Structure 1
Amino acid sequence: MDWDKATAELSKKLDPSHVKSRSQGGGSVSYVEGWHAIAEANRIFGFGEWTRETLELRQLGDPREVGGKMRVEYMARVRVTVAGVVRDGCGFGQGIDKDVGQAHESALKEAETDAMKRALMTFGNPFGLALYDKSRENVGTPEKPFDPAETRDRIKNALSKARDLAELERIWKHPATEEAFGKLHPAMQGELTKAHTDRVAFLSQAPEGTH
């Protein structure tokens, strides 16, 4: 496994579209779903590069009837190992069903999933670590990949709309323009240089008010 690539992914912000919420204790709790945590582990670490082991499952008290249904509660401890790095997490699960067997199954699954998510959370933001920061500084839509063609077209469009030479030069020499320009292929840089030169010629010759 390439830890450098994995670290880069683990450092990215948590996409808010992957954050769910539920009512709990009179308030709202944010979380990432278990299936998403597994999918992210497969994507970031790679299939077969990480393991999950349930170390402990313990029923908490006896099943009890609540509102005509049986309520069962479990705690779990799960270990996640990634390329020799070990993380443990504890979780809680509650099952409510008329069928006590179904209640046990639901509680067991929830406890294991919760413990796994807590273990994975320690690896980084994509697994929900960002949600523990009240400022939510690391929850946000990931930056779009750099698109050379889109960048070229955006700069060219801005140049074409410049109303006078002063505005044109402000756009052309703006730090953001210069930074984006430097990332483009030489051919695209040539296109923009020509677009700038052509716009200079047009604005220099066109009668005032016709720009």
Structure 2
Amino acid sequence: MKLGPEFISQRPGPGGGPKLTYAEGWKIINLANEVFGFNGWSSNVVSLTTDFIDFSEESRRYTVGVTAIVRVTLRDGAFHEDIGYGMLENSKSKGAALDKCKKEAVTDAIKRALRNFGNLLGNCLYDKSYAQEVVKIKVPPVR
């Protein structure tokens, strides 16, 4: 099975380029809970690295980048690890920027690790033809 249109979102690409198709972290985590059971899988942060913290004297703002490696383990012991990245530009607060970047990197790594368990958990989004077609499907509003 592949992800249904209700799990898929789009946003503008970098620099206003073509739209990017992705699945939001909370949706994939909910889906993993449905597929494996809430106690059928777990994730742990293998490493969390602050790649850079740049401060601009001119703007008095921070730009931060963080990398996370996360392992997702199933109840039977099968696991996958993957890398995620978080970045924030022009933050007034170094602490807030680090907080946001760490969470973004971990969520990204969880999603990437879960996709290794198959199309249903997001690997299908790497199939460009599938991604192009699924975003055309209208999703009925949630009641």
Q: Which structure would you say has the larger Rg?
A: 1
Q: Mind listing any 5+ residue stretches in structure 1 that lack a counterpart?
A: 1-11, 142-211
Superposition CA RMSD, Å? 2.1
Among 66, 69, 89, the alignment partner of 2:61 is 69
1:174-206 CA distances to partner (integer Å, 9 max, x unpaired)?
Answer: xxxxxxxxxxxxxxxxxxxxxxxxxxxxxxxxx
Query: Aligned residue for 2:23?
Result: 32
Which of 99, 103, 106 does residue 112 from structure 1 map onto? 106
Report 1:138-149 matches (<5 A): 139=134
Determine whether 1:89 maps to 2:82.
yes
Higher alpha-carbon deviation: 124-133 or 63-72: 63-72
CA shift for structure 1 position 70: 1.4
Higher helix share: 1
After TM superposition, give the deviation of residue 13 of structure 1 in Å: 2.5
Larger RCO (CA under 8 A, 6+ residues apart): 2
1:52 aligns with one of 40, 43, 48: 43
TM-score (norm 1): 0.57
1:49 deviation in Å?
A: 1.0
Shift of the 68–17 alpha-carbon distance from structure 1 to 2, 3 Å rule, reads: farther
SS of aligned partner of 1:104? helix
| Ranges in structure 2 where 5+ consecutive residues have no aligned partner | 138-143
Question: If the length of structure 2 is used for normalisation, what is the TM-score?
Answer: 0.81
CA offsets 1:16-75 (integer angstroms, 9 cap, x no match): 121111223322211101111110111110011101010011111233338553111101
| Partner SS, residue 135 of structure 1 | helix
Identical amino acids, percent of aligned pairs:
38
CA contact (8 A) 2:71 2:80 kept: yes
Compared CA separation, residues 20 and 76, structure 1 to 2 (3 A): same
Higher strand proportion, which one?
A: 2
- CA 1:128–1:139 in structure 2 vs 1: closer, same or farther (change >3 Å)? farther
Q: Report if aligned partners of 1:13, 1:125 keep a CA contact under 8 Å in 2.
A: yes
Q: What residue in structure 1 maps to residue 141 of structure 2?
A: none
Number of residue equivalences: 130
Per-residue CA deviation, residues 104-131 of structure 1 (Å, 9 max, x unaligned), is 0000000000011000011122322111
Q: Is the 8 A contact 1:52 1:79 kept in 2?
A: yes
Query: What secondary structure does 1:136 align onto?
Result: helix
Aligned residue number for residue 21 of structure 1: 10
